[in-house]
């Protein structure tokens, strides 16, 4: 629905939203006169608020109360009347750079750290999806002899996750078994060869390689590599209980909008038991703006298709490796949230994670 508003109507809608976000109390003309320099009388403000109410942008929660923004009112506020906080975006980027260390941490630790930081800065529930394994790439591969006839395959991905598998190198029917020193030397040669040729391959591509093309002297490792990588792939793509990292629940649930126990229970059930639905929602859009930065999507109240969060706002974006989306990040809070800050937090975090993942390619 298109709303044609005058500058005065937009200004009063902006002030009403700002005051309600700050106080959680229905807004009257007196409060706006005291807090904002609107340059008009109290009677004029009341008249304009009445027009905004008839347009469906404000409503009265009960008779004689002030007005509260509707989902449509918040939508106009987000689309036309506000700008994301540039100062907070810089703070988010600086904080993430100071707290997160890509060279030293595992992927899970990094994303947990990012999620906790964003929950603290935004005051919202923070959601970060773990990168999908079919696009996680090989950073390093190593073959090690761990004991007689047993070899460990270690795979390190570009997101610094480590997977390993120990298997028997020889079958009982093997006619000849080289001495351990020969095996160590061959394993190092094969490791060097594979790293130089396969760096950047996805785990799925590695599992589908034809290992029979290895040089004849290294044929004994072909079946081992195929079996090990297939097992590692199966393990990596198995559904994970931590597919979405969730932080900041306690702080948000203390907001007055979540005073009803039943509402809290439905949200917690979604976060804990129905993550697949939530995952699809925050991952379904992954556009890039003309600036080359990931687009931020804002879903307000009833715009959310999931019933448990139709009284909430969900702000999300994707983080990427180059131009390829590898995961999503979002914040969830009441519709009465500070959109300037929440949008800035998500945008800055998505850009930071995108740059970090692209540098590990």
Mark whether 118 and 250 lie in a shared domain. Answer: yes
Q: Select from 192, 214, 237 the last residue of a domain.
A: 237
pLDDT given at position 30: 92
Average pLDDT over residues 81-101: 89
For residues 360 and 331, the model is more confident at: 331
- DSSP for 236-263, written as a single string: HHS--TTSEEEE-HHHHTTSGGG-SHHH
pLDDT given at position 176: 65
CA–CA dist 151, 166 (Å, integer): 6
Mark whether 246 and 338 lie in a shared domain. Answer: yes
Mark whether 146 and 175 lie in a shared domain. Answer: yes
CA–CA dist 276, 75 (Å, integer): 27
For residues 68 and 171, the model is more confident at: 68
Whether residue 269 lies inside any domain: the answer is yes
Q: Whole domain around residue 73: which residue ranges?
A: 7-81
What share of the chain in percent tops pLDDT 90? 36
Sorting pLDDT into bands at 50, 70 and 90, what band is 279? confident
pLDDT per position as a tens digit, 210-252: 766 665 656 667 777 777 776 665 555 544 444 788 999 887 8
Q: Select from 218, 237, 256 the last residue of a domain.
A: 237
Mark whether 148 and 117 lie in a shared domain. Answer: no
DSSP 304: S
Whether residue 2 lies inside any domain: the answer is no
Mark whether 191 and 334 lie in a shared domain. Answer: no
Would you say residue 132 has pLDDT above 80?
Answer: no
Average pLDDT over residues 258-275: 85
The reply to whether the predicted model has a pTM over 0.85 is: no
Number of domains in the chain: 3
| CATH code of the domain containing 196 | 3.30.390
Sorting pLDDT into bands at 50, 70 and 90, what band is 6? very high
Q: Which two tokens stand for residue 187?
A: 């394993």
Are the C-beta atoms of 345 and 247 separated by less than 8 Å?
no
Sorting pLDDT into bands at 50, 70 and 90, what band is 288? low
Mark whether 21 and 104 lie in a shared domain. Answer: no
pLDDT given at position 241: 41
pLDDT given at position 218: 63
CA–CA dist 156, 138 (Å, integer): 6
Mark whether 282 and 255 lie in a shared domain. Answer: yes
């Amino acid at each position: 629905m298109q709303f044609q508003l005058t500058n005065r109507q937009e200004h009063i809608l902006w002030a009403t939203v700002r005051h309600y976000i700050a106080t959680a109390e229905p807004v009257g003309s007196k409060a706006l006169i005291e807090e904002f320099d609107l340059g008009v009388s109290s009677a004029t403000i009341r008249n304009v608020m009445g027009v905004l109410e008839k347009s469906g942008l404000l409503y009265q929660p009960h008779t004689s109360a002030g007005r509260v923004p509707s989902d449509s009112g918040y939508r106009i506020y987000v689309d036309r009347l506000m700008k994301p906080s540039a100062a907070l975006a810089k703070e988010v980027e600086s904080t993430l750079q100071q707290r997160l260390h890509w060279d030293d941490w595992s992927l899970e630790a990094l994303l947990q750290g990012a999620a906790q930081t964003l929950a603290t800065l935004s005051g919202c529930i923070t959601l970060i999806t773990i990168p999908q394994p079919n696009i996680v790439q090989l950073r390093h591969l190593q073959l090690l002899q761990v004991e007689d006839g047993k070899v460990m395959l270690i795979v390190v991905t570009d997101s610094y996750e480590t997977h390993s598998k120990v298997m028997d190198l020889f079958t009982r029917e093997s006619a000849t078994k080289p001495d351990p020193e020969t095996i160590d030397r061959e394993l190092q040669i094969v490791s060097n060869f594979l790293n130089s040729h396969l760096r950047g391959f996805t785990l799925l591509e590695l599992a589908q390689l034809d290992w029979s093309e290895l040089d004849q002297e290294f044929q004994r490792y072909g079946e081992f590599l195929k079996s090990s990588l297939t097992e590692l792939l199966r393990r990596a793509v198995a559904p994970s209980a931590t597919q979405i990292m969730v932080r900041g629940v306690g702080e948000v649930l203390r907001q007055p909008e979540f005073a009803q126990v039943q509402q809290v229970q439905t949200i917690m059930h979604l976060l804990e038991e129905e993550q697949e639905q939530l995952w699809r929602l925050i991952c379904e859009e992954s556009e890039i703006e003309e600036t080359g930065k990931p687009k931020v999507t804002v879903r307000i109240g009833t715009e959310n298709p999931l019933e448990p969060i139709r009284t909430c706002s969900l702000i999300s974006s994707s983080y990427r490796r180059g131009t390829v989306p590898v995961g999503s990040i979002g914040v969830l809070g009441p519709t009465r949230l500070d959109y300037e800050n929440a949008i800035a937090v998500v945008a800055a975090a998505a850009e930071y994670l995108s740059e970090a993942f692209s540098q590990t390619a």
